Structure 1
Amino acid sequence: MVLEVETTLLQKLGDQEKIIEKINTEPVVEVTGTAEHQPVETESKKHKVKTEILCNLKKFIGLYQGTDPKRRDKLPKIRPNLKTKERIDIINKEMINLLEESDSISKTQCLIYCGALTVIQHMGIKIQKQTLRTERKDPRWKIRLETNIKQIRRKLTKICASDKGNLSAKDVKRILKVKNIKGGDKNYNEKLAVFNPWVVTCEVVA
């Protein structure tokens, strides 16, 4: 009976030693605060980031307002991610109020440029030398508009020539194809009547 009791005690002591050894070998996790304090720190950090972004935006607007867009640095592209999206959301919310006060395209363009520059700077992206504008070039939106205007004028010139009978049959078919007009249509004359205002517009512009 005594042996059985001693054996049981030895087994319990052995189990306790194993438990203590397991506890000592487990990694220690440092706890810096309770779960209730973690969201407060996150919100505080977000508020600090927002304050910095809005201060930089205000600084850039004062710096670039009234400057020639052609003389401004060309901004590099950035890869979209969650951090970038958060910064852009802050800028967009502030832009709603700023754009309401803008009374010209140049001011609107300046605000958009400063907003993009603020995000790029806050993301730590540097503007390299090769991305700076060394030549005076028209912006892409202006080039696209001028190209579209030239194409429209070219089409109107062909329409005028077609109305006067000075256009080849090939060009006439091409123009009619654009307007979805076929010679065998039952309402061919009606479609041409609708097409006539283009000719009138061409004559007025010319």
Structure 2
Amino acid sequence: MKGGRGQRAGPLRSRPEVEPDGVSCGASGAAPRDGTVRPNSHGRERRSISLDKIRTRPAEVSSTRDGKVRWTQEENILLMRTHFIAQQQQHDTGGNYRELLTTIWNEINPEKQSYPNLLVNRVRLFLQNERFSTVELEAIKKSIRPHTPNPAENTDVDNEEAYAEHPMEPTPQWCQTNKIFQKNMKMYARVSTQDRPKIPRLKGSRKILESVERANTVIKSSIRSDSTIADFVDSVYAGAITVCEKNGIRLYSRQTKPREEKMPPWKTRLEKKINNIRKIIGTLHTYLNNNSPTRKIVKRVTSQHHIKARDEQLRQQLIILCDTLKQKIKALGNRIRRYNERVKRYKNSQLYYKNPKQFHRSLEGTVTVNKSYPTPENIHATWKEIWAHAGDHDD
């Protein structure tokens, strides 16, 4: 007697069994026996079939992380600034570097929360692969505020000092403004003005005026007796950024993608042509200045310019050809030079209308960043040598 569909007629199966919906077969192709279920990693509900009844079992849901997130250049620079701030706080307070790095990053950049392993490994990868040059790392390190307090440990102390200097009782709105202000101070303190986001022009309204008043009180509480003019400028800028964030005003970064300067095709062709002519002139110069030259040197040149190699006036014709090629190079070079001068004038004109300050700085030439100024003692000694000794001069 033949077995029915899906049944076993004996130790060997004469026909393939049909797998019920939702059931995965084993290695031999048969359905699992007696309610056995293969573990599922896709989070779907699996069913097992047995002779008595059909039972449903929820499979374990696997914990998967989000996909790969791209980091921008600004976020990489901000991570390195957070790294130097964490190192400074570790040196001052003796705290854990991983905890400090994670706390500062999550407070400065709350839109992109992260965990210690990712941040530490990313910093180590930047340093090992030399993602930033030594000059860039020094600039980022100088841009952090020295002796920055730990936000996780000294937040209460900072708030108490701010409240003591604040003439009014702190309100929840004032505390929120102070928190955003402290975050912006850590982000933009000691950062060059060219790298900071541009503050847009705000439309006057009662809400903005109230935000400006609260920001002014926060700025007054942050300025101390030993603050420098640079600290004052940083505080004012952080206050302006705080007002924009409180009112939902979008900030535009000044770091635009540099436009690739594409060379025109005709210029590329001219430069290639000039290089080829220079090679020919070099060959002719070698032949003409050699005491016992061989015609193999100029065999290719003579064939290209239709000159007979066995002509008696071969040397004279090669001299004329060499002079002609030199004049041709000069003419082509003048075309390229006129184009480069025109492009330079156009760029200077555009820069003058868009940013006159940057235009005048470019005219000054190189600017030394680290200037050494004389001390008051040196100035006094220099002028003392001039004016301390009396002398008579014949005019």
- TM-score, L = length of structure 1: 0.39
Q: Which has the higher contact order (CA 8 A, sep 6+)?
A: 1
Structure ID, larger Rg:
2
Relative to total residues, which structure has the larger helix share, 1 or 2? 1
- TM-score, L = length of structure 2: 0.22
